Each structure stands twice: as structure tokens, then as C-alpha cells.
Amino acid sequence: MSERLLALHDLQVRYPIRKGLLRRVAGAVHAVDGVSLRLDSGGTLGIAGESGCGKTTLARAVAGLLSPSGGRIELFGEKAPQGHWPLALRRRVQMVFQDPGGSLDPRQKVIDAVREPLEAFTRQPPQARTERALALLAEVGITAQQALRYPHTLSGGQKQRVAIARALAAEPDLIILDEPTSALDVSVQAQILNLLADIHDRLGTAFLLISHDLDVIAHVCERVAVLYGGRVVEAGPVAEVFREPRHPYTRALLAALPDPDPDRPWRPETLKGTVGAPEGGVGCPFRQRCPLADARCGQETPKALEIEGSVVFCHRVEEQQRPA
């Protein structure tokens, strides 16, 4: 039943660093540095990580908005083309952006934002498109009245609903959600997360959810991949990874998250240093901040280690496992 929907093989996205008067390329930021992941149809995969870990770049590469520098993106069993995507593929992969205000054209009425994909992807007559757009907006809780207004008259949560309706208009198989609720209040976030859950249950659309908020990922996703410095450090079923995080970074990330229940202990670890731009190269990307790092972590890139359905990239974890 479940077929391979998305597969990333050693995906790399580099941004050149230009320096000096002649703007010569002096180096590169390895925003995404060899990520391999997969997502089955109807599945939900969360990409967790902090600012600069490459999660947004990853999302845009998968959405076809920027071209990878290396590796391969496979969608629906075929290699995604570089550059412009054919309409048939374009329709199947949609995205919802973080900033609900910025993703809607301020000079375009709400209904036109939803009509646009219908015009491009379907051959319906204009009247049918309008009706379909209104129906889609109604499904996400936007009234016909609101549909005729401009985006700035809507609240942040309402704008995000419109963005979701626009993504649904294409009837995609995969929706990439790039921090869809991080600009919203908790109570509004709950509404949007419920809406996403409904969509997933009803339409079986696969989600690739990018978020820094582990609670949101835990709530929405079945599987999670934790990114640091452009690489996956740990991936697996949400229940497994969050119950027993193995990578030191995943542990630190989970420990840093305070729970609203004052009875649950909060013991954040102190990490050394600060997050820098990932430079790629050999070694573990987390080694500069890792409390467990030693010489080997700088000389040798950790290999994938499978433990109970999860994958961990860490020399220390591997050494612990060895005797057993």
C-alpha cells in the first residue's frame, strides 16, 4: 500500500561565500550537507533542528524552489529535474511557508490566491474554479466574505488557513510545512494543528513538517529526523526518538525544552560555543559543542548506526553499543 514518495540520497545544497571587491567565491556554506531521508506516501516526517541547521534550505530544495548542489531528490520514484519542474510534478508537491503574511501577495484578494493553482493545474471553467476555491476556503474555515478581502485584513491564523487552502487546491500528494505555526499564538497554533490533522486523516496527504518546536513535531509526525549543521544526527519513529534520544544533540535539544507542567523536571544542559555556519568536511558536525566529543569526532564522520528502528550518527553511541 505505502509506496516510496520522497527519497533524498546524499542531498547537498551549498551557498557560495563571496568576499572582496571582485566578489570572488571564497568558500561555501554547506547548508545541507549530505542528507539521506525517505518518506512513504501518506506518511508524516518531521525535520527538527535549530536556526542554521539547514532545515529550511532542505524544505525549499524538496519543493523544487532551489536546485541542489549534489546528491539526488527522488519524487514518486523518479529523479526530480533540476530547475523548472513540469506542471504534473509541480502539482503534486506543495508548500506552506512560515510567515503567513509574507506568503500571500498583499495586492491579491484571498480568493485569487486559491484560484491561482486551480487555473494552472486544472481545466475547469472560471465559474467552477471560483466555486472550488470558495469550497476549499470554507473547508479551512474562511468565510466567503473573508475570501473577497485582501490578506492584511485577516489575522495570522486566518492567513495561514488561506495558505493551506492554496496548497490543497493543487490536490498534492506531499505538502511541505515550513514552520507553519511558529509565527502563531499557542491557541491559534492548536487550531492549525487540528486542521492539519483533519487534512491528513481525510485526504491522506503526506507531510514533511519542518519545525524547531519538538512538541509540534511530536504531535503531528510519525517519524522525525534531527538536523544539525546540515546533516542528520538522528532519525527514527517519533515515539522512539523522543522517549529515548541517543545522540547527544537530540538529548540536549529535548532537555532544553521546558514543559508547562511544573512537576516535570527541567534540566537543560549547557552546550559549549555557538552555532556557526556549517562548513562541511570530515567529522561530526556537532563536535564543537558536544560534551562527549574527542579526537575521533573531528577525524572521522560518524556512520549510520541502526538501533531499534532509529538511526544515530555518533561515535560515542556506537562505542557503547559495541560490547553488546
Per CB under 8 A, contacts with another protein among 5-44 are: none
User: Which DSSP symbol is given to 151?
Assistant: G
Per CB under 8 A, contacts with another protein among 233-292 are: 238-239, 242, 252-253, 256-263, 266, 268-271, 274-275
55 binds another protein (CB under 8 A): no
Q: Nine-digit cell at 208?
A: 514533511
136 binds another protein (CB under 8 A): no
Distance of CA 236 to the CA centre of its chain: 15
Placement of cell 571582485 in the chain: 22
Cβ-based nearer residue to another protein, 256 or 305: 256
Interface mask toward another protein for 94-113; x: CB under 8 A: xx-xxx--xxxxxxx----x
Cβ-based nearer residue to another protein, 32 or 183: 183
Q: Where are the alpha helices (DSSP H) in 35-155?
A: 55-62, 87-92, 110-121, 126-139, 144-147
Q: Nine-digit cell at 13?
A: 545544497
Tell me, by CB under 8 A, how many residues bind another protein.
72
Q: Cβ of residue 324: shortest distance to another protein, in angstroms?
A: 28
Strand partners, 210: 47, 178
Q: Cβ of residue 303: shortest distance to another protein, in angstroms?
A: 25
Interface mask toward another protein for 214-233; x: CB under 8 A: -xx-xxx-------------
- Which span (24-32, 90-98, 130-138, 290-298) binds another protein, by CB under 8 A? 90-98
User: Which DSSP symbol is given to 153?
Assistant: G
Element (H, E) at 220: helix 214-220
163 binds another protein (CB under 8 A): yes
Torsion of CA 9, 15, 17, 23, to 10 degrees: 130
